[in-house]
């Protein structure tokens, strides 16, 4: 593997970008990302077809309208170690300690199989890469092209930019679930800013957090209708940052321990494009896990679907030892009051 290999990879990247730009212009960004997923299956980068995934629906005592769910996804256990080569070949530079989201590393780590798509939005600051350990078909990562940290470092301006870019990504992906995991709130790569983007699986309806906000039917702080406290905004098209930024600045100014403050941020644009919802869920960096099931609580979990990967948890689920109350208690353990 040498510089010639990198040149070939860059050429393939450019050729793919032209193809995906055409799909994006004619059928939308979602179609372009699904075309990227198909390409990555063909190159062999995506190897997990999710055939071992099982989903468990846990209704409340009052009925299936109130439910939580658990996704048993054994491949997710490998995500913290990454995929591909760990050591750079001779005469090949390893940048930023081998960061899995830096393009300068991706070409040699994945031996040319992983290709991405430079997204033509948000100032062209992001590249979409497929997730090798997906939560659902088409699950991809929008990673900053620059190696900048995942956390906002106490800056309200940086946090506002994180939210603004996520809202813009979501607006181009109606029907998709888009979220940000902060440090200690599910992020597995802290050194490089990234978001998760995934199309809602065909057999999924609205997730528990979405159902909760339907019952609340108002913007603002929500603290009693869901096990987690959260802030909610919505708009008929795109949530306006004029409403978000002042609240973010005020929240950071009054949070008790700003160095420990983190969050999950979720944006969902309706499939018809008629509504966009934004959920800001405050978290504490020291409370990334909860008793009940192994694994961290990230953005997908805060939506009401816990993802687990251990054999022990799988056995407990099959035995009926995990129920609605188990998940509600887990979410309460990581909740931070607003």
Kindly provide the b/e burial profile for residues 185-198, where b requires at least 16 CB atoms within 10 angstroms of the residue's own CB.
bbbbbebbbbbbbb
Q: How far apart (Å, rounded) are the C-alpha atoms in residues 252 and 242?
A: 16
β-pairing, 276-284 with 261-269?
Answer: antiparallel
CA distances from 173 to 49, 162, 207, 316 (A): 23, 17, 17, 36
User: In which residue are the tokens 């030892």 written?
Assistant: 321
Which of 305, 304, 317, 323 is closest to 71 using CA atoms?
305
Q: Which residues contact 266 (CB under 8 A, 6 or more apart)?
A: 177, 178, 179, 180, 209, 277, 278, 279, 281, 299, 302, 303
Which of 131, 130, 132, 128 is closest to 142 using CA atoms?
128
Top-tier CATH class for 52-79+116-334: alpha beta
Q: How far apart (Å, rounded) are the C-alpha atoms in residues 134 and 118?
A: 20
H/E stretch holding 246 = helix 241-254
**Structural domain spans, the chain:** 52-79+116-334
Which of 104, 147, 82 is closest to 13 using CA atoms?
104
Tell me the DSSP string of 15-44: HHHHHHHHHHHHH-HHHHHHHHHHHHHHHT
- The one-digit pLDDT tens for each residue of the chain (338 residues) are 555 588 999 999 999 999 999 999 999 999 999 999 999 999 989 988 899 999 999 999 987 678 999 999 998 877 655 568 888 888 899 999 999 999 999 999 999 999 999 999 888 999 999 998 899 999 999 999 999 999 999 999 999 999 999 999 999 999 999 999 999 999 989 999 999 999 999 999 999 999 999 888 779 999 989 999 999 999 988 999 999 999 999 999 999 788 899 999 999 999 998 899 999 999 999 999 999 998 899 999 999 999 999 999 999 999 999 999 999 999 999 999 99
Q: How far apart (Å, rounded) are the C-alpha atoms in residues 163 and 268?
A: 12
User: In which residue are the tokens 């896990």 written?
Assistant: 289
H/E stretch holding 180 = strand 176-181
CA angle 155, 282, 243 (to 5 degrees): 65
User: In which residue are the tokens 């035995």 written?
Assistant: 319
3-state secondary structure of 183: coil
pTM value is 0.95
């Amino acid at each position: 593997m040498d510089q010639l290999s990198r040149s070939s990879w860059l050429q393939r990247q450019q050729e793919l970008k032209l193809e995906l730009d055409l799909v994006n212009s004619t059928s939308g960004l979602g179609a372009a990302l699904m075309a990227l997923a198909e390409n990555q299956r063909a190159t062999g980068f995506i190897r997990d077809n999710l055939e071992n995934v099982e989903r468990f629906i846990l209704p409340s005592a009052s009925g299936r309208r109130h439910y939580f769910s658990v996704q048993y996804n054994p491949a997710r256990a490998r995500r913290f170690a990454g995929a591909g080569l760990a050591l750079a070949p001779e005469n090949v530079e390893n940048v930023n300690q081998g960061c899995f989201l830096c393009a300068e590393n991706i070409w040699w780590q994945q031996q040319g199989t992983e290709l991405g798509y430079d997204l033509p939005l948000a100032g062209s600051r992001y590249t979409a890469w497929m997730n090798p350990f997906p939560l659902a078909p088409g699950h991809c990562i929008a990673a900053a092209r620059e190696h900048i940290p995942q956390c906002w470092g106490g800056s309200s301006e940086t946090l506002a930019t994180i939210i603004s870019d996520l809202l813009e990504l979501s607006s181009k992906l109606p029907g998709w679930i888009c979220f940000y995991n902060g440090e200690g709130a599910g992020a597995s790569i802290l050194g490089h800013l990234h978001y998760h983007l995934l199309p809602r699986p065909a057999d999924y309806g609205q997730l528990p957090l979405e159902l909760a906000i339907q019952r609340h039917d108002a913007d603002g702080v929500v603290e009693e209708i869901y096990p987690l406290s959260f802030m909610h905004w919505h708009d008929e098209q795109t949530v306006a940052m004029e409403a978000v930024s002042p609240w973010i600045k005020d929240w950071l100014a009054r949070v008790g321990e700003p160095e420990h403050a983190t969050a999950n941020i979720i944006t969902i644009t309706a499939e018809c494009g008629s509504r966009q919802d934004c959920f800001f869920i405050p978290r504490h960096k020291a409370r990334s896990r909860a008793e009940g099931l192994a694994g961290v609580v990230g953005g997908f979990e805060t939506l009401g679907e816990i993802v687990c990967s251990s054999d022990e948890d799988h056995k407990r689920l099959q035995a009926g030892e995990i129920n609605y109350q188990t998940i509600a208690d887990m979410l309460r353990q990581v909740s931070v009051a607003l």
